[in-house]
Amino acid sequence: MSIDKTQELVLNMGPQHPSMHGLFRMVVHLEGETVTHIDPKLGYLHRGMEKLAESRTYSQFIPYTDRLDYLASPHNNWAYVQAVEKLMGVEIPERAEYLRIIFGELARIASHQVCIASTALDMAGWSAWSYAFRDRERICDMYEMTAGSRLTVNIMRIGGMSAEPPEEFWPALQSFLDDSPEMLEEYYGIFFGNEIAMGRLKNVGILTKEMAENLSITGPVLRASGVDFDVRKAEPYSIYDRFDFKVPVRTGCDSYDRTIIRMDEIVESIKIIKQAVRDIPGGPIMAKVPKVIKPPVGEVYHRVENPKGELGFYIVSDGTTKPSRLRIRPATFINLQMLPIVAKGWKIQDVVAIFATLDAVLGEVDK
C-alpha cells in the first residue's frame, strides 16, 4: 500500500514562544515540515488603548502611546501630539520641530537595529544579535539623558517637547553619528554577508508588489517589494520637506530585502540627523498652549512614517478635555495580513524567518 502524503499536523506556536516577538499565536498546519495553512490568533496583549483614551485628558494619554510600538516610542508620541496640534491649530517652535526630527530618527535607527538583531537571533545568530543591541544601547543612553527612561521614552508634549537635551547629549550624538559607518559595515560582515543568512532569507517568503499594494502594506516591508512610498515624502509632516534624503526601495520582494532595507534606512536617518544638528536654531521648545487642553469640536486624522510603516491617529473632539473617540491605525497589525499568504508552501523554519522580517511588535498590533 502506497502513501501519497503525510498526515496533517497542527502545530501551535505562541503566545509564549521566543520567536513570536510578544504574545502572538499562530496555528500552523503542516504536511511533514511544509506549511499548508496559517491561522493567526491575536488579542493576547489587548489593553483597550482606544477606549482608555476616552477617560483620559488629551495630555494624560501621551504616556499610553509609548506602550504601542515600544521599540520606537517617540514616534507614537509624535503621531498623537501632532494629531491634537492639527485639531487645535497649534504651531510649535522651530527648535522643537528639529528636536522631534532628531529623536524620531534616532528611534527609527534603534527600531531597525532591533529588527536586524531579532531576525539574526531567530535564526540562531547570537553574535549578530549582540552587535546591533550593543549599538542601540548608545541611543538608549541618549534617551535616558533627556527623558529619564530608556524604552518608553515620553518626551513630546502637545505644543513641543518636555525637556531640552542636556549638554552631554550633543557629544554623545556626534560620536554615534561618526561611528555609524563602521557599525553598518559590521552588520553586513557578520550577518547580511553571511552565506547562511543569505541562504535562509534570499528568495524566501516572496511578497510581490501587487500583493503588497492590495493588502495595504506600508513601511519597509512595502518598499522591499519595489513600491516607492514613504509618508515623509508623499505627505510631508513636521519639517521633513526641508531635509535631503532618499527613500530606499528594493525589488527582491523576499525576506532578505525586507531585512537589509532597514540598514539602507539607517543610512538615510543618519543623513537627516546630521542635517538637523547642523541647522537646529535656538529658542523655546514649547508653544504657548492652554494648561487645560480643549480642542474645538471636530475630527482629525494624522499619519506619520513609523519605523514599521504608517501609524495614524483619528480623533473626534466634542470640545471637552477628553477625546470623544480615538482610533489608532497600527502599521504592523495591517502588515500581518501577509503572513498566511506568503508563508504557505515554505518549511516551518522559514516561517520563523519570514515572521521576523515583518518586525512585528504586539503592543502595537493588539493595542
List C-alpha distances in Å: 35 to 42, 138, 279. 20, 40, 52
List C-alpha distances in Å: 239 to 51, 216, 262. 31, 26, 22
Closest C-alpha among 245, 266, 255 to residue 225: 255
Handedness of CA 69, 363, 64, 154 (dihedral sign): negative
H/E stretch holding 25 reads strand 25-31
Q: Which three cell numbers stand for residue 325?
A: 473617540
Q: How far is CA 69 from the centre of its chain?
A: 6
Q: Which CATH architecture has domain 48-365?
A: Orthogonal Bundle (1.10)
pLDDT of residue 329: 94
Q: How far is CA 78 from the centre of its chain?
A: 13
**Residues 240, 101: contact at Cβ < 8 Å?**
yes
| pTM metric for this prediction | 0.94
CA distance 229 to 73: 22
The owner of cell 513641543 is 160
**Residues 158, 81: contact at Cβ < 8 Å?**
yes
Domain ranges of the chain: 48-365
Please list the pLDDT of the chain residue by residue as tens digits (367 residues): 455 666 888 989 878 777 777 788 999 999 988 999 999 998 888 889 999 999 999 999 999 998 999 899 999 999 999 999 999 999 999 999 999 999 999 999 999 999 999 999 988 888 888 999 999 999 999 999 999 999 999 999 999 999 999 999 999 999 999 999 999 999 999 999 999 999 999 999 999 999 999 999 999 999 999 999 999 999 999 999 999 999 999 999 999 999 999 999 999 999 999 999 999 999 999 999 999 999 999 999 999 999 999 999 999 999 999 999 999 999 999 999 999 999 999 998 899 999 999 988 888 988 8
Q: What are phi and psi of 268, to 5 degrees?
A: -70, -35
β-bridge pairing 34-41 and 156-157: unpaired
Closest C-alpha among 176, 25, 197, 28 to residue 126: 197
Q: Which three cell numbers stand for residue 77?
A: 508620541
Q: Which three cell numbers stand for residue 110?
A: 534603534
CA distance 189 to 186: 5
Q: What are phi and psi of 91, to 5 degrees?
A: -105, 130
